[in-house]
Amino acid sequence: MNEITMTLKHKSGLHARPAALFVQAASRFKSKINVRNGEREANAKSIMGVLSLGANQGAVITIHAEGEDAEQAIQQLVSLIEDNFGESA
């Protein structure tokens, strides 16, 4: 099982441009990927689902992936978040 929990540092949280980039990245993988924020859970490939998580800056989210490329998927998504979605801090 591939799962990781991390804190969102981007000022927009998982909204706006970060949400779009996150969904685009997740959509490149075959694995089933879910994101959880507290009690809400969503398909990481669904922009509406990800937006409705209401994950703001400072939110602690858990990404869960299952499938042949689960490990790479988690790696990619983690580095996207750690990289602050490509924006210089």
Partner 1 sequence: MKKLSGIIASQGIAIGPASHFRRADLKVERQKVKDPAKEWERLGEALVRAGQELDAVYTKALAETGAETAAIFQAHGMMLEDPELLEVMQKKIEGDHLNAEAALTDATEMYAQMLEALEDEYLRARAADIRDLSARVLRILLGVIESPIGRLKTPSIILAKELTPSDTISLDKAMVLGFATAEGGATSHVAILARELGLPAVVGLGMDLLDIPDGTPLILNGSEGVLVVSPEEATIAVEKNRLNAQKATLAIARQDAQKPAISRDGQRFEVAANIGSIESARAALEAGAEGVGLLRTEFLYLERDHMPDEEEQYQAYRAIVDVFGDLPVILRTLDIGGDKELPYLELPRELNPFMGLRAIRLCLARPDLFKPQLKAALRAGVDRNMKIMFPMVATVAEVRAARAILEECRAELVAEGKPAATHLEVGIMVEIPAAVVIADQLAAVVDFFSIGTNDLSQYTMAADRTNSQVSPLADAFQPAVLRLIRDVIKTAHQHGKWVGMCGELAGEPLALPILAGLGLDEFSMTPAVIPVAKQILRGLSLPEAQKVALAALNEDSPEKVKSLVEGAQIAM
Q: By CB under 8 A, is residue 64 in contact with partner 1? A: no
Give yes or no: 10 in active site. no
Measured between alpha carbons, how far is 7 from 57 in angstroms, rounded to an integer?
8
Which residue in the block uniquely carries the two structure tokens 């988690």? Answer: 74
Interface map 24-63 toward partner 1 (x if CB under 8 A): x-----------------xx-xxxxx-xx-x-xxx-----
Measured between alpha carbons, how far is 23 from 55 in angstroms, rounded to an integer?
14
Would you say 58 or 67 has its CB closer to partner 1? Answer: 58
Query: Helix, strand, coil shares of the chain as percentages rounded to 5?
Result: 35, 25, 35
β-sheet bridge partners, residue 19: none
Residues that bind partner 1 in the complex, under the rule CB under 8 A: 7, 9-11, 15-17, 20, 23-24, 42-43, 45-49, 51-52, 54, 56-58, 84, 87, 89
- Which residues form the catalytic set? 15
